[in-house]
Structure 1
């Protein structure tokens, strides 16, 4: 049954997202305030153009401390090589992606627009729900 469950059924749809011109300190505040470890960066059309993680923020802070300047904007430190999954992909295929990669989450797209995010925990939730049925 796991191969029939789709990402759309288990993804988080209400996401914190960042814009590339957002001040990095504001982005760090939103990460902390929302208890999340990263979030997608989108352009004005909702296309995923990057991902900002806690690690990116720490890297920016260290760089700023060494160079004695302000952290900068989200676009200066976001990861641009973003791997996404489709909303209609199966949970099973995404579980395999998590095993084969270091990523903890994937932005979910539908028709090239961000519609959600799927995490390792969401996959575990799907396994639990399907296993109980």
Structure 2
């Protein structure tokens, strides 16, 4: 008589763990957002105070219109100092934000989101539903998901 199965009987719990882990389960919903007419000084203060590297820019209807980051602020400061111009001349989010923003779907699998981070070299993706900002997924959120998965299913 031959061996039928080396692994033995499998429990039903494994089927439950195969549920996809989605962006919506790990995205940040309480966001610090900015308006186009905010000053860069205001942005820099909030970035430092809240220990974040950037955030979404929305209009009055909470529609995503851009992203402002530390890099955008540094670029403005650097250019104004280099050309010996006062920092107030273009000192608004609207003049310095990135408007071509990649977003991510709330129903995307977290592993597909991880690949999107790797291929795009972005640090965050806004999550938009019906044109409205509903959250943001950062690389740190993906790491949190990985730790939870490791605690439940990975051996090690």
- Contact kept, 8 Å, 1:2 with 1:91, in 2: the verdict is no
**Partner of residue 39, structure 2:** 23
- Contact kept, 8 Å, 1:18 with 1:41, in 2: the verdict is yes
For residues 57-116 of structure 1, the C-alpha deviation after alignment (integer angstroms, 9 at most, x for no partner) is 001111222241225110110011100011121111101101111101101112221111
**Which consecutive segments of 4 or more residues in structure 1 shift more than 2 A?**
none
Cα 1:131–1:125, aligned 2, differ >3 Å: closer, same or farther?
same
Q: Which has the higher helix share?
A: 1
TM-score (norm 1): 0.93
**Partner of residue 68, structure 1:** 85
Does residue 117 of structure 1 match 2:117? no
Q: Give 1:28 deviation, angstroms.
A: 0.8
Q: Relative CO higher for 1 or 2, CA cutoff 8 Å, sep ≥ 6? A: 1
Cα 1:49–1:2, aligned 2, differ >3 Å: closer, same or farther?
farther
- Contact kept, 8 Å, 1:19 with 1:43, in 2: the verdict is yes
CA distance in 2: counterparts of 1:22 and 1:114, whole angstroms: 18
Number of matched pairs: 133
